Structure 1
Amino acid sequence: MLLCSAGVAPSQTPATPPETPPATTTPQSPPAATTPQTPPAETPAPQTQQPAQPETPSTGEPPAISVPQVTVEAPKPRPARRAPPATPARTAAPRPPAPPAQPTPTPPTTPTTTTAGQPAATSLQAPPSLNIITTNQIQGSTAQSFGNLFFTMPGATSAGLAPGASRPVLRGLDDFRVRVQENGIGSMDVSDLGQDHGVPLDPLSVQKIEILRGPEALRYGSQAVGGVVEATNNRIPFAAPPGGWQTQFLGATTTVDRGAEGGALFDAGSRDFAFHADVYGRRGNDYFIPSYPYLFPSDPAPPFNGKQPNSSFHSEGQAVGGSYLFAGGYVGAAVSRFSTLYHVPTMDGAASNSRIAIDQVKYTSKGEFRPESSAIDVVRFWAGAVEYHHDEIGIGEDGIDGIQATFKNHAQEARSEIQFLPLATPLGSFISTVGAQFDHQQIDTSGDAGSLLGDARTNRSSAYFINQLWFTENFRSLLAGRIETVRLDGTSGIFPAALVPPPDNPALSLQSLGFLPKSISFKLLQDLPSWMVASALLQRIERAPTALELFAHGSHDAPGTFEIGNSNLKIETGNTAELGLQRIQGDFRFDAKAYYTYYNNFIFRQATGILCGATFATCGNGVDTGRLLPTAAMSRACRRCGSAAAPTGAPTTGSCAWASCTPSGRATSASTTRPPPATTCSRCESRTPNIGGTRLGARPSSRPGSSARTCSTSTCAIPCNSTRTKFFSPGAASNFS
């Protein structure tokens, strides 16, 4: 409540006659009332109180007493973020919207569409995305891990090998092609290295999730060819909560696993500072299932007690953060910790009591500043660093229950950008944003993980721009571009052509590889009647190979695979065309997309049909503990060939299984032969010029009685990557968009 009193100020007023003027003064005298903060245009803003000039009395009338103007300004609370005062050179940027009436204010998550700095800023906002999971949806979900929140989202799902380990899958793409981030900073974990690795984000710590694609996604990296999953919370507050403080308590129980979860969030603030803290935890036992869990049990079959064996989990986390609020912006920092222990509920995992313990400490900072400038609207920055530790625990070959593999990840990320004020052009209002980003990742491994991937380092520097052009209030375009320099250092294995011993221990070679991916994305948006928006998108996204794809050379314990990388891989390119129509308001809302993506040099894991143990010396001797999965390049022509390259059955040293598919995508029969000459399975050759390029081990074939051209691939081939790829490798069509 604001109380205001007014009266005649005795200071800075000329001497007046002893008579007090009546309540109603002559029209020449201004009323003694508070003056609005913004004076009328014809009245200049008062700078200092000037004494009133005496008026010349008219003949026959008593002189009028001039009462000086008095302005009473009541004290007001200092806003969290104040816009700079208006100047002739620019329009004052409007204040950010007040925090919503919920336990913790949620900061804006798509600054790309911010158009502060012009009077019609509210009309220059991009339509709200329907690819959003709100706070109420998150709190009402039974998801035990971050990835499981996407099971009910159209165009998305989740993949993982354990209740505590799952990642989002967007349009059939996952792992390295989907970026997961928190408040603009990447999760910086190793969840993209294997389906048994968890994301160190808990649903209890997240307030909103949004999926970004197209030009908006290029702000964060070209690795996110499938999309960016942005999780937001108030760990770095940008405003003080209403009333000075607020708190929230969360709690739930589950019957399927006799589990429980709970959390508490606290926010406080004043005119200059804002503070946040949260703590949460959850636990669950082996969950109940209606039938026997294994399709192909061992002999004798494991006993069944109505529960999924080895499916329990436990996780907890804490965070604290704060911000300094000043005129025109804020700057803040936070530190958080995430810890979890979850079991891997596979048949082998239950037999060896496989479980994974993750501990991550994350430091983040971000800020925003709106300078008093005639050109710059806002300057933003994000920064973060993590210390990540991950142990894979279970019963080893020696019969001892202990740590079998360890992953350590030391990563840093920083990004800064400048958004300029709208510029009037003959085509419309033009808003430009330019920025730069730097990333560093160092993965250290030991135990069985050391044989999978040795110590590897990735350094990435990039620059990007995002331009908005508003032709009219209803028609606008977005254009974004990004260029990166990527350098990867690691150790790759040198394996024999047949991918089986000898030698028992392949030689290791230090590698230092560089890539220069370039990406561009263009989008048009048109507002239609009835709150509908039509969109069209064209983009070309290039992705550099990752350390695992280049340098893998050993067994991976939890998924039971033996993986071989390929240091000859080239940049993967995805070309996408998309049409969309969405209704963003009203009782009935929808978001429909039709898209087509064409990939060049698609990188994937290809099964060879050779079985391996924990070491390369066991490959091809019939030890059924894992399947050799080299990383290869996928090409395109036979794009629907699903699973024609089936394993040959009992492993035969050096055996090859061919599968062919027609250009229409229909799979044909697969055949098994003895190993062809070494020249066939040892190098990339062009054996099908009529198709336009080939990969190692591929040769043309045709169906009996048909002249249609087909293509064949060999599962024993050494991975290679051709710049002209015209056929699709079997078993990977599910990743095609």
Structure 2
Amino acid sequence: MRPFFRAPVIHTVGLPLLLANSVLAYADANAPDHDNAIELETITVTALPNNASATDSAQPVFVLSDDDLERARATSLGETLSQQPGIHNSSFGSAVGRPVIRGLGGGRVSILQDGLKAVDASTVSPDHAVGVQTNTAQQIEVIRGPATLLYGSGAFGGVVNVVAAEPQEEGVESEINLGYNTVNRGKDIRLNQQGRQGDWGWNFGAGQLRSDDYRVPRKAGEIHNDDGVLEYHDAESSRLDNSDIEYNRQLSAGGRYFFDTGSTGLNISRLTSRFGLPGHDHGDEEAVLDPAAAADEEGVARVNLKQLRIALDAKASDPLPGVTNLNFDLAWTDYEHSEGHVEAHDDAAVAEPDHEEHGPTTFAKEAIESRVALSLTPIRSIEQTVGLQGSQTDFSAMGEEALVPSTQTNEIGVFWLAERNFGAVTLSAGARWDRVQHSPQTPDDVNSVCGFGLDAYQNKTFGNTSASLGALYDIDASWQLAISATSALRAPDAEELFSCGAHESTLTYEIGNPDLDSEHSYNLDVSVRRNVGRWTGSVSLYQNRVDQFIYQQALLTGTDIVLVDDLPAYQFIQDDAVLRGGEVTVGYTITPQWQLTAMADRVRAELVDGGNLPRMPSDRIGTGVNYQALHWQGFVNWIHNAEQNRLADNGEIPTASYQLLDAGIGYRWYLPTVEYQLDLKGTNLLDEVVRYHTSFVKNTVPQPGRGFQLAFAAQF
């Protein structure tokens, strides 16, 4: 049974490197001798070569698994990871949230499902959900910093890999989870089973979540006047309109055949969801300048999402002379979501998309991707991995928000990684070459305000070469020093190249730039880690210079923003940018049952020529205490999010500081064949007004207020 609560190995904090080292060294010197027996749990990371552990990587790696994953689980992937070091959430209500890692999001962060890219439209717009199967997730792996060499062009923000459970040992293991959340009257049920008999194994997972509009603090009614003055008013309602999830259903089933040197498996999954997009409405010019005054004439936005995924994989040891391991993955995905407006407060229309008043926009993607990686027999003690990865994606958008033309994208990449151990020092190197081609369809017409004509919709091809160097130094049995340097490139996305149209979700008129070049990231990351002892933790500092960074800038006439269809016009441009920051994690084991944690992180993101990048996360610092015993578990976590007043020159307004206080208690009991767990967790216990600066709609869409979650689980 995976308990709902357990003291996490470590949490997060941004302290100066010398201070952190001094504190940990002093504590270790004055601790009893038996402290060194305490050691962090070793967890296999499937996203690393040869399934290495986090302590074997020169890049910062974080794994959320088992009971820690259950405790953090939320309605979106971004919210599930939002309290982890260096990770924030670009929230668009409860159903939509994409991870932002070290200030970078969108296509610069690669979301994977079992090692292959998740297929959805979440990089096209911030109001589009991430299409991954989280109900059956065994663990979520996060590689902070560049991971371009392993997972395709442009993942220099980081990689998030959602790993599904699969059968390994003989026998059958089943688990059922039930939950209720007071903040949104949410009800969810999940059923998972893995089994193996002889050479055959199977897995099955099913789940459904439903929730009403979530409750917000009464003082959450912040608006932005057209003269730029901030005012605060009480919210008209205690619940945020159109923030419900009508349903989210996930279903997966698969089989696996085991042979002497490996296994092969087939998995089929289905994801369907209907939900609302709060803050999505738009009306006239007044509504644009004052989001709280957005007119209701166009009703509320509803989404109907469907995804089918079929995946095949094979793993083999010593399949060929000179090859120690082979990993092959292949996935075909058919994704579609329709987004349209219905009359506000019309329950029949909300429940039935056929009643939509305004014709929906349909976004569709069909993609096939394959990846093969070969681990070679070591030569002069040098371990090497070579691989080939390719994909074809057909994207289309039809309807009122189809600002991007239908586009076929073909990608192919070749990668090489090498590693050699020299006693206490392990050196690594790698290289990757990618070719990305976007082939857009020519639209019937294009608005002249975009500055380019129909002849701009031509095939765009980018050839990118990336490289990395890393070193891992075991200072002693407890301490490690890790350094990595990466030069990585990202090809522009189709929406950055070819957009020309109104974008209701961000209340902007988006203008692409067919002349964009690839972004070039130069990243340096230095980490100090302590893995053994009563004190454990890590300090990571990084600098990421991105030449030709792609971002949106307001289109101006003099000092006034150009309005197109009553929406402010923003165009994609390029400029050099630098992102600097760090994360620190500290944990102190008081007794085997009690542990203290501390956390903080920071990022500063500026254009080289002056000015801040938009929607950068605020500084955070926090602490917590955890208790874990045979039957009882509990925790208290507090995080302070500082005010964000480092603003971009694009109409951003400051975000106020807030405190997040969460606490929980759980009880577990055992019968001969069944293990039960009952948990109660409180979130945002101070009922603070929470607005993520990383969110496009943070001015009109605050996060949920105080809530309590009751969960019951049984494993048999």
Determine which of 140, 158, 183 is the counterpart of 1:209: 140
Is the alpha carbon distance of 1:261 and 1:477 closer, same or farther for their aligned partners in structure 2, counting shifts above 3 Å? Answer: same
Q: For the residues of structure 1 that align with 2:422 and 2:235, how far apart are their CA atoms? A: 68
Partner residue, 2:238: 306
Query: SS of the counterpart of 1:286?
Result: coil
Q: For the residues of structure 1 that align with 2:442 and 2:453, how far apart are their CA atoms? A: 10
Correspondences of 1:331-730 after superposition (within 5 Å): 331-346=264-279, 348=281, 351=296, 352-371=299-318, 375-395=322-342, 401-423=357-379, 425=380, 429-450=381-402, 452-472=403-423, 474-491=424-441, 507=454, 509-609=456-556, 624=566, 626-636=567-577, 665=610
Cα offset for 1:267?
1.3
Cα offset for 1:373?
5.2
The one-character-per-residue Cα deviations of 1:124-170 (angstroms, maximum 9, x if unpaired) are: 95589651112212211251111111111011111021210110000
Is the alpha carbon distance of 1:305 and 1:522 closer, same or farther for their aligned partners in structure 2, counting shifts above 3 Å? Answer: same
8 A contact 1:610–1:628 mirrored in 2:
no
8 A contact 1:294–1:347 mirrored in 2:
no
Aligned AA for 1:538? A
Matched, 1:280 2:207: yes
8 A contact 1:520–1:540 mirrored in 2:
yes
Q: For the residues of structure 1 that align with 2:54 and 2:525, how far apart are their CA atoms? A: 25
Is the alpha carbon distance of 1:289 and 1:123 closer, same or farther for their aligned partners in structure 2, counting shifts above 3 Å? Answer: closer
Determine which of 102, 106, 109 is the counterpart of 2:46: 109
8 A contact 2:59–2:483 mirrored in 1:
no
Correspondences of 1:7-46 after superposition (within 5 Å): none
Deviates more, 1:550-559 or 1:315-324: 550-559
8 A contact 1:492–1:565 mirrored in 2:
no
Deviates more, 1:356-365 or 1:284-293: 284-293
Query: SS of the counterpart of 2:329?
Result: strand
Q: For the residues of structure 2 that align with 1:262 and 1:533, how far apart are their CA atoms? A: 42
Partner residue, 1:267: 194
8 A contact 2:242–2:278 mirrored in 1:
yes
Cα offset for 1:490?
1.0
The one-character-per-residue Cα deviations of 1:98-133 (angstroms, maximum 9, x if unpaired) are: xxxxxxxx9851451458xxxxxx999558965111
| Gaps in structure 1 of 5+ consecutive residues | 1-105, 116-121, 612-618, 641-660, 668-712, 716-731
Correspondences of 1:245-256 after superposition (within 5 Å): 245-256=172-183
Aligned AA for 1:271? G
Correspondences of 1:166-181 after superposition (within 5 Å): 166-181=97-112
Q: For the residues of structure 1 that align with 2:580 and 2:609, how far apart are their CA atoms? A: 8
TM-score (norm 2): 0.67
Q: For the residues of structure 1 that align with 2:564 and 2:489, how far apart are their CA atoms? A: 40
Deviates more, 1:155-164 or 1:301-310: 301-310
Q: For the residues of structure 1 that align with 2:450 and 2:553, how far apart are their CA atoms? A: 13
Cα offset for 1:498?
6.4
Q: For the residues of structure 2 that align with 1:261 and 1:734, how far apart are their CA atoms? A: 26
Partner residue, 1:136: 67
Q: For the residues of structure 2 that align with 1:126 and 1:309, how far apart are their CA atoms? A: 45
8 A contact 1:214–1:521 mirrored in 2:
no
Q: For the residues of structure 2 that align with 1:340 and 1:387, how far apart are their CA atoms? A: 15
| Gaps in structure 2 of 5+ consecutive residues | 1-42, 227-232, 283-293, 345-354, 582-605, 613-647, 651-692, 697-716
8 A contact 1:462–1:484 mirrored in 2:
yes
Is the alpha carbon distance of 1:449 and 1:521 closer, same or farther for their aligned partners in structure 2, counting shifts above 3 Å? Answer: same
Query: SS of the counterpart of 2:242?
Result: coil
The one-character-per-residue Cα deviations of 1:331-390 (angstroms, maximum 9, x if unpaired) are: 111010111111111172793211212110011111111126552101111111110011
Q: For the residues of structure 2 that align with 1:557 and 1:253, how far apart are their CA atoms? A: 33
The one-character-per-residue Cα deviations of 1:23-65 (angstroms, maximum 9, x if unpaired) are: xxxxxxxxxxxxxxxxxxxxxxxxxxxxxxxxxxxxxxxxxxx
8 A contact 1:139–1:204 mirrored in 2:
no
Q: For the residues of structure 2 that align with 1:664 and 1:507, how far apart are their CA atoms? A: 33
Matched, 1:160 2:78: no
8 A contact 2:577–2:608 mirrored in 1:
no
8 A contact 2:58–2:472 mirrored in 1:
no
Cα offset for 1:449?
3.2
8 A contact 1:215–1:480 mirrored in 2:
no
Determine which of 251, 257, 260 is the counterpart of 1:327: 260
Query: SS of the counterpart of 1:139?
Result: helix
Is the alpha carbon distance of 1:518 and 1:387 closer, same or farther for their aligned partners in structure 2, counting shifts above 3 Å? Answer: same
Partner residue, 1:226: 157
8 A contact 1:366–1:380 mirrored in 2:
yes
Cα offset for 1:491?
4.5
Query: SS of the counterpart of 1:635?
Result: strand
Identity of aligned residues (%): 22
The one-character-per-residue Cα deviations of 1:633-678 (angstroms, maximum 9, x if unpaired) are: 12349999xxxxxxxxxxxxxxxxxxxx9989579xxxxxxxxxxx
Query: SS of the counterpart of 1:223?
Result: coil
Cα offset for 1:396?
8.7
Is the alpha carbon distance of 1:623 and 1:348 closer, same or farther for their aligned partners in structure 2, counting shifts above 3 Å? Answer: same
Query: SS of the counterpart of 1:435?
Result: strand
Deviates more, 1:403-412 or 1:286-295: 286-295
Aligned AA for 1:311? S
8 A contact 2:545–2:576 mirrored in 1:
no
Is the alpha carbon distance of 1:637 and 1:368 closer, same or farther for their aligned partners in structure 2, counting shifts above 3 Å? Answer: closer
Q: For the residues of structure 2 that align with 1:127 and 1:605, how far apart are their CA atoms? A: 33
TM-score (norm 1): 0.65
Query: SS of the counterpart of 1:357?
Result: strand
Is the alpha carbon distance of 1:343 and 1:327 closer, same or farther for their aligned partners in structure 2, counting shifts above 3 Å? Answer: same
Q: For the residues of structure 1 that align with 2:91 and 2:518, how far apart are their CA atoms? A: 26
Query: SS of the counterpart of 1:305?
Result: coil
Q: For the residues of structure 2 that align with 1:341 and 1:558, how far apart are their CA atoms? A: 17
Q: For the residues of structure 2 that align with 1:608 and 1:387, how far apart are their CA atoms? A: 36
Cα offset for 1:521?
1.1
Aligned AA for 1:133? L
Aligned AA for 1:476? T
Cα offset for 1:221?
1.1
Q: For the residues of structure 1 that align with 2:56 and 2:120, how far apart are their CA atoms? A: 33
Is the alpha carbon distance of 1:274 and 1:358 closer, same or farther for their aligned partners in structure 2, counting shifts above 3 Å? Answer: same
Q: For the residues of structure 2 that align with 1:347 and 1:489, how far apart are their CA atoms? A: 30
Deviates more, 1:364-373 or 1:531-540: 364-373
Query: SS of the counterpart of 2:505?
Result: coil
Query: SS of the counterpart of 2:401?
Result: helix
Query: SS of the counterpart of 1:348?
Result: coil
Aligned AA for 1:634? D
More strand by share: 2
**Matched residues, number:** 520
Is the alpha carbon distance of 1:456 and 1:386 closer, same or farther for their aligned partners in structure 2, counting shifts above 3 Å? Answer: same
Query: SS of the counterpart of 2:506?
Result: coil
